[in-house]
Chains A and B, each alone.
Chain A
Amino acid sequence: MRFERRDRPSRALSVLAPLGAIMAALLVAGVLIATAGANPLTAYALILDGAFGSRLGFSETLTRTTPLILTGLAAAVAFRARVWNIGGEGQFYLGALAVAAIGMVPALAGLPAPLAILICAAAGAVAGMVLLLVPLGLRLRFGVDEVVTTLLLNFVAVLFVSLMIEGPMKDPLAFGWPQSVPIPDNAILPTLMDRTRLHAGLLIALALAVAVWWVQARSVFGLGARAAGLSPRAAAFAGVPLARTLLLVGCLSGGLAGLAGAVEVMGVKAYVTTDLSPNYGYSGIVIAMLANLNPLGVIAAALFSAVMFVGADSMSRALSIPSYIADVTVALSLLTMLVAIFLTQYRIRR
C-alpha cells in the first residue's frame, strides 16, 4: 500500500472532509459511551437537545461559541503562516486581565459606553499580542522554537493572573474569593437576548471572522503570510519581508486570542478568575484545524465545539456519562480531521 499525491485536491472532498472527520470522531466517542453503559444515540440526541432544545440552551451555545471563534481565528491565522502559536490560553487570560486592570481606572466609568468598550477591547488585544511577541521575538532573534515557549508561557500567564487577583487586583467585596474587581457597567457589552448571557461579543467575533477571511484571501499581507508559511525561502526570494510579516501575523494572532479573553470579561463575567477559560485557548487549535484554517470555517467549527460542550453538560446530568466525553470527541475530531485532510491530498494505491 502506498500514497500518491493527487494532482489537484477535489473541491467536493475538501467540503466533505470535516463532516467525515466529525462523523468518525462521534463514532469512536459513541463506542466509549456504549462501554459506559448508555445508548450513544440517546446521548447524542440529549446533547443536541441540551444545546438547541431550549431558549436558554441555545443562548448558552452561542455564548460559548463567541470566545471559541476568536481563539480559533487566532490559531488559524498563525498556523497559516506556520507560526505555531499554542499560547492561546495564556493570551486569553492576559487579555482578560488587561480589561480588568483598565476597569479599575476610575476615569473609565465616566466615559460613554462605546468608547469604554473600545478601550477595553484594545487593551485586551494588546496584552495578548505582547505575550505572543515575546516567544516570536525569541524565535526570530535566537532561533528558539515557539511551540514549547508558548506552551510554557500559558502556565506563567495563569499564575500571573492568580498573582494579580489575589494581590493588587483582588475584589475586597468578594468574600475572600480570589477574583478581580468587576469592571464598570459602561464597559459591559449589551446583551442580544433578554434574560440570557448572550452578548454582542458574538457579533464582534463574526465580523472579525469575515475581516480575517478578507485579509487572508484578498490582501497583499495575507498573500505574504501564506507564502511565508508554505515556503519561507521562496517567499523571501519573491520579496516578502519575512520577519515583519511574521511579527504582524503574531500581532494578529495574539491580539485575537487576547480579545477573546477581553470579550469574555466584558460580555459574561465582568471579573477575572483563574477558571475563566475551560481551555478556550487549546480548543482554538482544534477549531482552526477542523476549519482547515479557513476563517469562515472557524465559525462552523466553533459552533460544533460549543454544541458538544454545552450539550454534554446537560447530557451527563441525565445519563451519568462524564461530561469529559465532549473533550474526548473534540480532541478526536482533530485527529480524524488531520487524516481527512490527508485523504483529500493523497490517494491510496495498492
Chain B
Amino acid sequence: MSVIFDILAAVGLWEAVLRIATPLIFGTLGVLLCERVGVLNLGIEGIMTFGAMVGWLTVYSGGDLWTGMAAAALGGAAFGLLHAILTVPLGLSQHVTGLGITLFASSFAYYVFRLAVPVATSPPTVEPFRPLDVFGLADLPVVGPVLFGQTAPTYLALALVVVLAWVIYRTPLGLALRMAGENPHALDAQGVDPIRLRIWAIMAGSALMAMGGAFLTLAAFNSFFPTMVQGRGWICVALVVFASWRPGRALLGALLFAFFDAFQLRLQTVVDGVPYQLFLMAPYLLSILALIVMARRARVPQALMQPYRRGER
C-alpha cells in the first residue's frame, strides 16, 4: 500500500497526467466533432501518425514548432477531406473507408519519413516545445508544475475543449452541427446543407487529430518512428463513447485515462515479479471496460453512420 501512496504523493505523476492527456484531448475532440455531425472517422489512427510525421518533418527541416503544428493540422484536414468525400456525398461504408484512410495515411507517413531519413540507427530528434511558466506560477509547490508548467499545446488543447463546448451548445453553428448528426433532413429543411456542413466538420475534426499526433513528436518523444501512435487513436474513439459525445466529459475521460496510464507507468518500476506486458495491456483493457460500462447509457447521435441523400429516407 505504501508504494501506491508514494506514487500518488509524487508531483511527477500529476505533472505527467496533463502531458499524457494532451494528444488524447486533441484526438477525442476530433472524433467528437466528426461523430456529432454523424460520421465515424476510423482514419484517426493513421491521421495521428501522419500528423506526427508532418509535424516532426516540418520542424526537422527548419520550420518552427507552431509551423509544424499548422502543417500537421493542414495534412490532417486533407485526409479528412478525403474521408469526407468518400463517406458524405458518396455515402460509402464509414467503417471500411476509415480503416482505409488509416492504412493509407500511416503507410504514406512511413514512406515520406523513409524518403526524408533513408537510413538512421536512431531516429533524428528535434528541439521540442518547452514547459511554460504561466502567470509566473510554475514555481508554486505541487500545483505549479502540474497546472502552470505544461507546454503550450497542452493549454491549446484545454482551451479547445471550452471553445468546442461553447460552439456546440451555445451557437447557431453548434445547433446545426448537432442537427446534422441527429436529423439531417430537418437541417436541410432549415436551409442548411448537411453535406457541406459534414464535410467541413470532418476536416476540422481530422485537423485536431493530426495536431494530437504532432504533439507526440513535438512535445513528448521529440522524434518520429513507425508505430509510435500505438493505438491512441482507437482509444480516443472509445473515449468519445465514454464521454457520451460531450466535450467536457471527453476532457474528464482523457484525464482519467491519462492518470491511470501515468500511474501504471510508475507502478511498473516499483513492483517486482509482475511482467511489464500486463501493465502495457492496461490502457487497452481499460478502454474496453469504459465501452462496456457506457454502451447502454451513452446517447449516440441518431444519424451516426447514416449517409444523407436528399430525397431518400
Contacts and interface: CB of A to CB of B under 8 A. Distances in A.
A324 B114 contact: yes
A283 to B, nearest CB: 9
A17 interface: no
Contacts of B82: 335
Interface residues of A, number: 44
Interface in A83-98: 84, 86
Nearest to A1: B89
Contact of B100 (A143, A163, A322, A331): A331
B292 A338 contact: no
Nearest to B240: A148
B196 interface: no
A221 interface: no
Interface string B55-90: 000000000000000000000000000100010011
Nearest to A151: B234
B111 A325 contact: yes
A143 B292 CA distance: 8
Contacts of A338: 86, 92-93, 96-97, 100
Max chain B C-beta neighbours (<10 A), residue from A36, A147, A331: A331
A332 B104 CA distance: 6
A245 interface: no
Chain A interface, >50% SS class: helix
Nearest to B98: A147
B100 A153 contact: no
A334 B100 CA distance: 6
B107 interface: yes
How large, as a class, is the contact surface on chain B?
A: 35 or more
Given A148-B291, A153-B288, A156-B285, A339 B92 contact: yes
B295 A153 contact: no
A14 interface: no
Contacts of B93: 338
Contacts, number: 123
B95 A84 contact: yes
Contacts of B92: 338-339, 342
A335 B97 contact: yes
Contacts of B284: 152-153, 155-156
B97 A331 contact: no
Contacts of B97: 335, 338
A162 B288 CA distance: 20
Contacts of B96: 79, 285, 289, 334, 338
A327 B114 CA distance: 13
B101 interface: yes
A282 B46 CA distance: 13
A196 interface: no
B275 A163 contact: yes
B301 to A, nearest CB: 13
A342 B104 contact: no
Interface string B127-170: 00000000000000000000000000000000000000000000
A324 B107 contact: yes
Interface string B26-58: 000000000000000010000000000000000
Contacts of B234: 148, 151-152
Max chain A C-beta neighbours (<10 A), residue from B110, B280, B284, B309: B284
Contact of B99 (A86, A325, A327): A86
A167 interface: yes
B238 A167 contact: no
Interface in B267-313: 275, 277-278, 280-281, 284-285, 287-288, 291-292, 295-296, 309
A15 B281 CA distance: 44
B201 to A, nearest CB: 21
Contacts of A328: 104, 107-108, 111
A236 interface: no
A240 B200 CA distance: 41
Contacts of B280: 159
A30 B298 CA distance: 45
B95 A147 contact: yes
B123 interface: no
Given A155-B230, A339-B86, A143 B295 contact: yes
A56 interface: no
Contact of A285 (B99, B230, B292): B99
A152 B238 contact: yes
Interface string A1-41: 00100000000000000000000000000001000100000
B295 A142 contact: yes
A304 interface: no
Contacts of A325: 111
B124 interface: no
A138 B110 contact: no
B304 to A, nearest CB: 10
Nearest to A143: B295
A286 interface: yes
Contacts of B118: 320
A145 to B, nearest CB: 7
A285 B95 CA distance: 11
Contacts of A334: 96, 99-100, 103-104
B219 interface: no
A144 interface: yes
A138 B284 CA distance: 15
Contact of A32 (B101, B103, B111, B275): B111
Q: Which 3 residue pairs across A and B have the least CB separation, nearest first?
A: A327-B107, A322-B114, A331-B103
Given A143-B296, A334-B96, 20 more contacts: A3-B89, A36-B115, A138-B288, A138-B295, A144-B295, A145-B241, A145-B291, A152-B288, A155-B281, A156-B284, A159-B280, A160-B281, A166-B277, A286-B100, A322-B114, A331-B103, A332-B104, A338-B93, A338-B96, A342-B90
